[in-house]
A and B are shown apart, each in its own frame.
Chain A
Amino acid sequence: MSTLLRSLGPLVRALHGQGYRVVGPTVRDGAIVLAELDRADALPYGWGVEAAPGRYRLHRRADAAAFGHAAGPQSWKAFLHPPRSPQWTADRTADGFTVTEAPPDSTRYAFLGVRGCDLRAIAVQDRVLGGADGGYARRRRELFIVAVSCTEPADTCFCASTGCGPAAGPGYDLGLTELVDGDRVRYLVEVGTPAGLELLTQLPTEPAPVDLVEEAAAAVAAAATKMSRALPEGDLRDLLAGSHDAARWDDVAARCLSCGNCTMVCPTCFCTTVEDVTDVAGEHAERWLRWDSCFDLDFSYLHGGPVRTSTRSRYRQWLTHKLGTWHDQFGESGCVGCGRCIAWCPVGIDITEETRALVTEAEEA
């Protein structure tokens, strides 16, 4: 049975009460970013987003929706797989040195407002980073997820074609659908886990009338039809495997800045490098893990030089891994259809357009 929640205030308070650091969308610096929320009032009530290739603008909505927007400039990986995290430290001793593992990060996050695309992206990163008992696994184990199904995709969205949305799930503790009527917002709640049920029992809820349940389902279903972009159908793994020498790589390389923005906004890109820090006295050393990108020339540096020296080869590597060899490595696609790489590419390169061009080229060959 579905449940109705008339405000998110009690939800945020209950999560804080259970010791979670609540992270969710909020307006900052002209965008809806993900940040720690003190209270539900910080959510972007009444703000909407217009996204296009290389362009993102906030606007005031006619209603008070808190989730009337699609993916912003960051993804949740900024919290689960932070841009820079400590690995170990070493200190000189009288007869050598000692190495100390970085203390476990005991942060308990509650994510509020995870969309279908991002929920799938977390599952994708789980398969990549969740195995070892490292920082990611610890943060992930403690994570509480409040998902929100999408009712208003951006122009850059294409999750319907990747099978990740607009309905969120599975994988949440609680799943919401926002019902907006002018200044009034209500939330239909679905329970995903025992932890979600336990939290929900602490909140002032009421049974949801059948017509609201139907209204919510219709709004989510309609969102799928509002998406103007789609990844091509068919076996993209085969497509990419057969496109190694495609002329399209030269075409995209002429436009690509090789700046790496797409990989850093991508919710599934996970690559890192290590950074060593030493103190001036030579008594203390630290190793840090930090995000890297296949667009960085140094990323493919082997003995004597980088292997992927051209932008053509770097873009090809990114797309081939994302849509093709990701299947071989992890048994699924690395793309969830969030559209961030389209919106946040400074020159607006569109992954769906590039992939379609490869399909066309393969068909014509």
Chain B
Amino acid sequence: MGTAPTLAVWKFASCDGCQLSLLDCEDELLAIAGRIRIAHFPEASRATVEGPYDVSLVEGSVTTPGDVARIHRIREQSRLLVAIGACATAGGIQALRNFADADQFRSVVYARPEYLSTLDTSTPASAHVPVDLELHGCPIDRRQLVDTLTALLAGRKPDLPGHSVCFECKARGTTCITVARGVPCLGPVTRAGCGALCPAYGRGCFGCFGPAAVTNTPALVDRLRELDMTETDIGRVFRTFNVLAFAGGGDDPSQ
């Protein structure tokens, strides 16, 4: 056996929730720490080991010129780069700025906006560097994170489905809340991986995993209207966690 593979965890514009999912692994965390060397993870330890790293987990979106330089540096130092969470994979909630005037925000929010160095857009890691794997969600699914790290250790393909959340509702035996109760749900256009958590508790999926590998969002929007969802609410539900991804990186889907 050679030396243990090294893992680095990096934070960009984000709430830290996805990194905390790693700490939340509890039982598995000890086993993971026994197989890999955690080389850079400020949320867990001040000790830092210089790169290169075998695996980098990147949380957060790129929102400043400094971020752009840093994501390139991380890419150069990482054998595998794994983007984790809606911010790192789709720009996050903060990508709402992409559809607004960032100068206006700067002037309204900050007393001295000239001190700010920020970009007009919030973008995912993949907009700047090649990304090897993406774990979706706000936050990511803990089991998916453990499975991915385990898969990388074993040299197998991680189980990261591209199909809809409906697959997971059906597998766990959840009765479709849209069909049986008329609850608006983004499940049919949202990527699986959460285990269909929200519909199991009677709440419509709000798309935090972003779009499935194939979607027909206009057809679902027609259905949401039939279910008496207002145009404002339809706009909001698609604009929350994965606005850039649901928009296909272009137009706002609710327009």
Contacts and interface: CB of A to CB of B under 8 A. Distances in A.
Given A29-B180, A33-B175, A280 B166 contact: no
A311 to B, nearest CB: 6
B161 interface: yes
Contacts of B180: 29-31, 56-58, 73
B100 interface: no
Given A54-B223, A257-B164, A280-B150, A346 B214 contact: no
A281 interface: yes
A291 B171 contact: yes
Interface stretch (B28-36, B59-67, B85-93, B102-110): B28-36
A261 B35 contact: no
Contacts of B172: 83
Contacts of B182: 55
Interface string B180-219: 1110010111000000000000100000000011111001
B170 A257 contact: no
A257 B179 contact: no
Contacts of B35: 280-282
A349 to B, nearest CB: 10
B153 interface: yes
Given A56-B179, A264-B167, A298 B32 contact: no
Given A282-B35, A347-B219, A264 B214 contact: no
Given A259-B166, A280-B146, A73 B223 contact: no
A312 to B, nearest CB: 11
Contact of B164 (A54, A254, A260, A279): A260
B167 A296 contact: yes
B28 A280 contact: yes
A343 B179 CA distance: 7
A33 B179 contact: no
B213 A298 contact: yes
Contacts of A261: 166, 170, 176, 188
Given A254-B219, A282-B153, A73 B176 contact: yes
A298 B174 CA distance: 23
B57 to A, nearest CB: 16
Contacts of A57: 180
A78 B173 contact: yes
A83 to B, nearest CB: 4
B175 A347 contact: no
A297 interface: yes
B113 interface: no
A177 to B, nearest CB: 27
Nearest to A35: B173
A346 B184 CA distance: 10
Interface residues of A, number: 47
A21 to B, nearest CB: 16
A205 B216 CA distance: 55
A260 B175 contact: no
A260 B163 contact: yes
A278 B188 contact: no
Contacts of A4: none
B173 A257 contact: no
B162 interface: yes
B159 interface: yes
Contacts of B157: 276
A277 interface: yes
A78 B159 CA distance: 22
Contacts of B28: 280
Interface string A242-281: 0000000000011111111100110000000001111111
Nearest to B217: A257
Contacts of B212: 258-259
Contact of A346 (B173, B178, B215): B178
Contacts of B220: 257, 346-347
Interface string A290-329: 1101011110000000000001000000000000000000
Nearest to A31: B175
Contacts of B214: 258, 297, 311
Contact of A264 (B166, B175, B178, B223): B166
B219 A256 contact: yes
7 contacts: A57-B180, A253-B216, A260-B166, A278-B150, A280-B149, A311-B214, A347-B219
Given A29-B202, A260-B163, A280-B35, 4 more contacts: A55-B179, A83-B172, A256-B216, A259-B189
Interface of B: 28, 31-32, 34-35, 146-147, 149-151, 153-154, 156-157, 159, 161-164, 166-167, 170-176, 178-182, 185, 187-189, 202, 212-216, 219-220, 222-223
Interface of A: 28-31, 33, 54-58, 73-74, 78, 83-84, 253-261, 264-265, 275-282, 285, 290-291, 293, 295-298, 311, 343-344, 346-347
Q: Which 8 interchain pairs have the tightest Cβ spacing?
A: A259-B188, A264-B170, A280-B31, A83-B171, A257-B188, A259-B164, A296-B163, A31-B175
